[in-house]
Amino acid sequence: MTLPPVVSLTDCADPNALARQSTRIAALFGATPTVLPLEGPDPEGAAALTLLDLLRSTDLIGGPTQPVVVLVNIAPRDGHWPNGVPFCHFRHGDHLVVTTANPRVLAPLATYLGLTEVQVTDVREVLETAAAEWARLTPDEIEEMARTQFRSLWYAPLLARWLADGHPVPGKPTDVGRSAAPEVRIAVVDNFGNCKLDRPAAELPGHATGKDLLVHNRHEGRDVRVRCYDRLPDVPLGEPGITVGSSGIGFAELVVRGGSAAEAFGLRQGDQVFRLTS
């Protein structure tokens, strides 16, 4: 049996954590995974856009694709869960996603990819079911994995392997909400300094008609007008613009053609750029 390649997005991004996760995933799937650390001030926003982009990258192919497994470990910063947010799973076509059940990460998939439901798992229930039916796990091993806070290392890769093998992993069907905050924020700052926003350009007021929008310039301590353009080549050299970028479903980007928008405006990941009004 040929197992699919694994791509992992995680906010457990120190070298020790990345080394352990890479080794465990490689031992389970037979190949070194691609592990992408999500650091910065807003890893949830970065994870939401990056996961959407990963799944979008499997489209526009014109034929069948090879299955891929995507692992996502981004815990909500609300402290609501007694031992961390649970892991869930779903499929996008032939591709398997195992992720923390983070509403902010999943909402764009519901809004723009049509995801309606995920299977939320209970760690202890899954481990005990596996031990009874297909895995060689002792009660002490189950207890250790059920109690650990590093579930992205011990549990999530196992869950992904068992799902890839087709085992009947128990889960609770759970609806995915499509709610979006009125604030439009920077999800990712790319290596050019372009600020990828978390909303399509078409949802920004006046973008279709090429109007100006107000963007706060932290260096100057004031809002400045920035013109909307269709594409980056339409922006005058050296000038700022809001364009249809390369991410999501036509998501917007704040750019400076030939320069860095992040540096020019003093902005970083997670910063609010606009607030939409109903």
3-state secondary structure the chain: CCCCCEEEEECCCCHHHHHHHHHHHHHHHCCCCEEEECCCCCHHHHHHHHHHHHHHCCCCCCCCCCCCEEEEECCCCCCCCCCCCCEEEEEECCEEEEEECCHHHHHHHHHHHCCCEEEECCHHHHHHHHHHHCCCCCHHHHHHHHHCCCHHHHCHHHHHHHHHCCCCCCCEEEECCCCCCCEEEEEEECCCCCEEEEEEHHHCCCHHHCCEEEEEECCCCEEEEEEECCCHHHCCCCCEEEEECCCCCCEEEEEECCCCHHHHHCCCCCCEEEECCC
Same domain, 133 and 17: yes
Give dist(CA 257, CA 232) in Å, integer.
7
Give the chain's domain count. Answer: 2
Q: Does residue 21 sit in the same domain as residue 60? A: yes
Is the same domain home to 231 and 119? no
List the CATH number of the domain containing 25.
3.40.50.10790
Q: Within a domain: residue 1?
A: no
Shared domain check, 43 and 152: yes
Last residue of a domain, one of 152, 175, 198: 175
Which residue segment(s) compose the domain that 67 sits in?
6-175
Amino acid, res. 249: I
**Residues 135, 243 within the same domain:** no
Domain boundary among 175, 198, 221: 175
Q: Residue 221 burial by CB count (10 A; 0-12/13-18/19+): exposed, middle or buried?
A: exposed
pTM equals 0.93
Question: What's the CATH number where 250 sits?
Answer: 2.40.30.90
Task: For the beta carbon of residue 4, count every other beta carbon within 10 angstroms.
Answer: 17
| Judgement on whether residues 58 and 115 belong to the same structural domain of the protein | yes
Residue 274, both tokens:
């606009």
Rounded to whole angstroms, how far apart are CA atoms 210 and 241?
10
Residues 36, 168 within the same domain: yes
Are 244 and 134 members of one domain? no
Q: What is the CA radius of gyration of the chain?
A: 21
Residue 47 lies in a domain: yes
Q: pLDDT tens per residue, the chain (278 residues)? A: 789 999 999 999 899 999 999 999 999 999 999 999 998 899 999 999 999 999 999 988 898 889 999 999 997 655 555 667 899 999 999 999 999 999 999 999 999 999 999 999 999 999 999 999 999 999 999 999 999 889 999 999 999 999 999 999 999 999 998 777 788 999 999 999 999 999 999 999 878 778 899 999 999 999 999 999 999 999 999 999 999 999 999 999 999 999 999 999 999 999 999 877 65
Check if the beta carbon of residue 58 is closer than 8 Å to that of residue 113. no
